[in-house]
Amino acid sequence: MVVEMELSRIIIQENSDQQFIFLKERGGERTFPIVIGIHEAIAIDRRLKGIPTPRPLTHELLYRVIEQLGGRLERVVINDIRDHTFYALLVIRRGAELIEVDARPSDAIALGVVDNTPILVAEHVLDEVV
């Protein structure tokens, strides 16, 4: 079982290598942080604020590649946590085919904010972190 989440907050600390994004359960109270890198945090923050870049960032580029190959990012799924490390999948639809691609949650979320893609988290992950 998976739970739909939303990106509720980004904390960027320019003097630190560790940045935080917080996911919150849609229609619920559960929330948890994920530690991410500065580049992913800035990419997510810029996109959410609508700040354009002169050239596509890596996540925007990948999004365009998926589209040009006839796909659409359908959802981001944070599907596991092992040794305090989160794991995620990009679920891409191309016609009737679903393609799952292993990804870091920070990259998956950065890619997902390009088009407000749903973020889902496995219930067992929530049980462990909340």
Element (H or E) spanning 126, and its range?
Answer: helix 123-129
Provide the 3-class DSSP secondary structure of residue 27.
coil
What is the CATH number for 27? 3.10.690.10
Report the distance separating Cα 31 and Cα 54, nearest Å: 34
How many domains does the chain contain in total? 1
Which is it for the CA torsion 121, 123, 128, 130, positive or negative? Answer: positive
CB neighbours of 79 closer than 8 A, spacing ≥ 6? Answer: 87, 88, 89, 122, 125
- State which residues form the domain around 26: 2-129
- Tens digit of pLDDT for each residue in 63-82? 999 999 999 999 999 999 99
- Tens digit of pLDDT for each residue in 3-56? 999 999 999 998 888 999 999 999 999 999 999 999 899 999 999 999 998 999
Report the distance separating Cα 63 and Cα 72, nearest Å: 8
Nearest to 59 by CA among 35, 42, 71, 78: 42
- Tens digit of pLDDT for each residue in 73-113? 999 999 999 999 999 999 999 999 999 999 999 999 999 99
